[in-house]
Amino acid sequence: MDLNLRNITHRYDEVEVLRDINLDIKQGQIVCIIGPSGCGKSTLLRMIGGLERPASGEVLQLGDPPADCLNPLTYIFQDFALLPWRTVEGNISLVLENHPLDAAAREEIIADVLARTKLSDFRKAYPRQLSGGMKQRVAIARALSVRPAVLLMDEPLSALDSQTRELLMDDLVDLWEKENYTAAYVTHNLAEAVRLGHKIVVLSRRPGEIRDIVEIAMPLSDRTSENLELEAIQKRLWNLMRDEARAADMELVDER
């Protein structure tokens, strides 16, 4: 299943946040979306997942999701969005309870995703007992449990400390190697973008327009940390964005 964004424009009240975005997300591809703060990345991702309606333009779904897919467009959030009153297993079962699955099938799915994310030992733990990295792994397990056609990730690593970030990035790469998932990945972090993205979409400051789309052909498995080609791309991206990042940083938050 591919996704296709056509002429998406959006405004909140008087503020235009996105302008004429055209983009497609091909099956098996990770599309990274980068841009300065407040340029509308999260808004765009909400539109892709059907959580918000663009003022104009549309998001189309090309082809059908696989038959066993329970929730084609599935999010992984920056702040994990786990229910604190449910255990790890309860948080996963939450998203299965609305589907016509019998208890055994549900149990099987839960055991499977926990094993894939190496969380089996933490089944009965509450979110408060887990480190940030573990919480995000639970959120990933939850997302996998509904067999998504496309994963929508909004800065999934940016609430983590950088060592954990490194560990989880490796996990995401391994997972892609195994499952070839499709994803739209929003991030501020250029290193993450060049590490994970098959296609990197650079947005301008608000109102977000597409400034550039960089495709990286190198297979994910080859993208090790000492890699001059990636470094060069990262540097190019940074040069493209630095001034806008600085300007976005210097903006005063509007007085209300």
Partner 1 sequence: MSDKSVEDTLTGKPVPFRGGGFLPRPKKIVAPIVFIGLIAFWEWGCRTGFISPLILPAPSEAFEAFMNLVNTGLLWQHLAASLQRLLIGWFSGTMLGIIVGTLIGLFSIARSGLQPLVSAIFPIPKIALLPLFIIWFGIGEGSKVATILFGTFFPTVIATYGGIDNVDRGLIRMGQSFGLTRMSIIRKVILPGALPAILSGTRISAAIAIILLVAAEMIAAEYGIGAYILIAGSLMATDQLITGVAILSCLGLIFAWIIGRAEKYFLKWRA
Ligand X SMILES: Nc1ncnc2c1ncn2[C@@H]1O[C@H](COP(=O)(O)OP(=O)(O)OP(=O)(O)O)[C@@H](O)[C@H]1O
Interhelix angle for 103-116 vs 88-96, to 10°?
130
Pick out residues in 9-48 that bind Mg ion (CB under 5 A): 42
> Does position 97 bind partner 1 by CB under 8 A?
yes
Which residues have C-beta within 8 Å of that of residue 25, sequence separation ≥ 6?
A: 2, 3, 4, 5, 31, 48, 150, 182, 184
DSSP summary character for residue 255 = P
Identity of the amino acid at 67: A
Q: Which helix (H) or strand (E) holds 49?
A: none
Nearer residue to ligand X within complex by CB, 19 or 206: 206
Tell me the closest approach of the beta carbon of residue 220 to a copy of itself, in angstroms. Answer: 18
Tokens 């005063």 sit at which residue? 252
Question: What gap in Å lies between CA 234 and CA 242, rounded to an integer?
Answer: 12
Tell me the closest approach of the beta carbon of residue 61 to ligand X, in angstroms. Answer: 22
Q: Single out the residue of 98, 131, 180, 221 in contact with a copy of itself (rule: CB under 8 A).
A: 131
> Does position 246 bind a copy of itself by CB under 8 A?
yes
Q: Which does 39 bind (CB under 5 to 8 A by kind): ligand X, a copy of itself, Mg ion, none?
A: ligand X
Binding string, 26-65, against partner 1, x = CB under 8 A?
A: --------------------x-xxxxxx----xxxxxx--
Q: What angle do CA 17, 19, 24 make, to 5 degrees?
A: 115
Tell me the closest approach of the beta carbon of residue 37 to ligand X, in angstroms. Answer: 4
Q: Are 135 and 82 in contact (CB under 8 A)?
A: yes
β-pairing, 15-25 with 2-12?
antiparallel
Using DSSP's 3-state secondary structure scheme, residue 11 falls into strand
Judged by CB under 8 A, which stretch of 17-25, 48-56, 104-112, 127-135 contacts a copy of itself? 127-135
> Does position 137 bind partner 1 by CB under 8 A?
no
Tokens 């009965």 sit at which residue? 124
- Residues in contact with a copy of itself by CB under 8 A are 36-37, 122, 125, 128-131, 133-134, 158, 161-164, 166-167, 187-192, 225-226, 228, 231-232, 234-235, 238, 241-242, 245-246, 248-253, 255
